[in-house]
Amino acid sequence: MPGPSFSDVCQARLRLAGRIHRTPLFHSQQLDDLAGCRLWFKCENLQKTGSFKVRGALNAVLSLTPAEAGRGVVTHSSGNHGAALAWAARQRGIPAWIVVPENTPAVKQRAIENYGGQIIRCAPTLEAREETMRKVQAETGAALIHPYDDDRVIAGQGTAALEALEDAGPVDAILAPVSGGGLLAGTAIAATSALAGIRVIGCEPAGADDAFRSLQSGQLQRNQRTETIADGLRAALCERTFAILREKVHGIVLVSEEEILEALYLAWERLKLVIEPSAAVALAAVLFRRATEGCRSACVILSGGNLDVRAWCRAPLEATTRPTRPSTGPPSAA
C-alpha cells in the first residue's frame, strides 16, 4: 500500500484549480514572540465549507468516472469531511449519503444538510461508523469516499501544504493536526518532496493519542475511548496513513485540553480568526510544547473553522481553567 505520490498531489492541485479558495497565510508578531520563531498560519478555516476537507473530497469526486458518479457517493464523518463531500457532490450533481455519529456537533450536521447531504446517524464509535457506511453503500451502490483511507483524498489534502510553502518560502517545519491522518499524510508527501530538510510534525490531543502511540510502538494502535474537545480529531489512523506517517513524519506532539482551549482563545484574540478546537491543536503544540524548538520559521495549518459560535457564547469562557501562557522571549537559535 504505497500511497499517493508527489505527482498525485500536483495533479490534484491542477484538478482543484479555480474550484476552491487559495487560502491566505496569516502572521502575528505577538504569536512569534510567544513561540520563539516566525510562524505562518495557513488559514483553511477560510476554505470553502470551512475546512481543508473540501480539497480531498472534491479531488476524489472529480476523479470518479461518469458511471461511478452516477450512483452517488457515501462516507462517514464527524462533520467536516461530510460537509465537504456533500458540497463536492453537489458540484457534480450527484447524491451524497453521510453517516455521522450521534454526538456530532449540530452546527456540522446542519452544514451537511445545507450542502445537500443525506444524513444517516449511528452510534459514536468508529466501528459503528464503518459498519453503517458499508450498509448504506451496499443498499445504494454509491462510490465510497473514505475521509482519509483513500489516495485521492490524501493527495487533495496535500495541496494545502504546497500552497503554504509557495507563499511562505522556505521554512524549517510544518505542523498539522492528526486524526485519521489524511491531512498529515498529504502534508508530509507534499512538504518533504517540495522542500528538502523540512520537519513535518503531527499534533494530537492527549485524549485521542493513537497516532502518537502508533509511531512510538511501530504498530498501529487504537483508542478505546476518545476524550477531547477537538471533535474533528476522534478518528484513528488506518494502515495507509500510518505507513506514510512512519516514513515521512518526524514526530507527534501531544497537547492537553487546557492547552487546546488557550490556543483557541489566542487565535481569536491575536489572529482575529474563528477556528475550531481541532485547528487549535497545532497552535497549542507550538506555544505550549515547543514543537518548533530550534526552528527559525514554521508553517501551521489551521485546519478548520466550523465552530458552533452560539453554543460557545452561551458558556462563559472565563469559567474554563486556563493554563499559564508561554513566556515571551527572543527567537530560538537554529
Residue positions annotated with a catalytic role: 53, 78
Contact 276, 232 (CB under 8 A): yes
Report d(CA 38, CA 34) in Å as an integer: 10
What is each CA distance from 326 to 8, 22, 33, 153, 289, in whole angstroms? 40, 32, 9, 36, 9
Report d(CA 180, CA 186) in Å as an integer: 12
Whose cell is 492541485? That residue is 13
User: What three-state secondary structure class fits 89?
Assistant: helix
Report d(CA 154, CA 31) in Å as an integer: 30
Report d(CA 225, CA 237) in Å as an integer: 14
Report d(CA 215, CA 237) in Å as an integer: 11
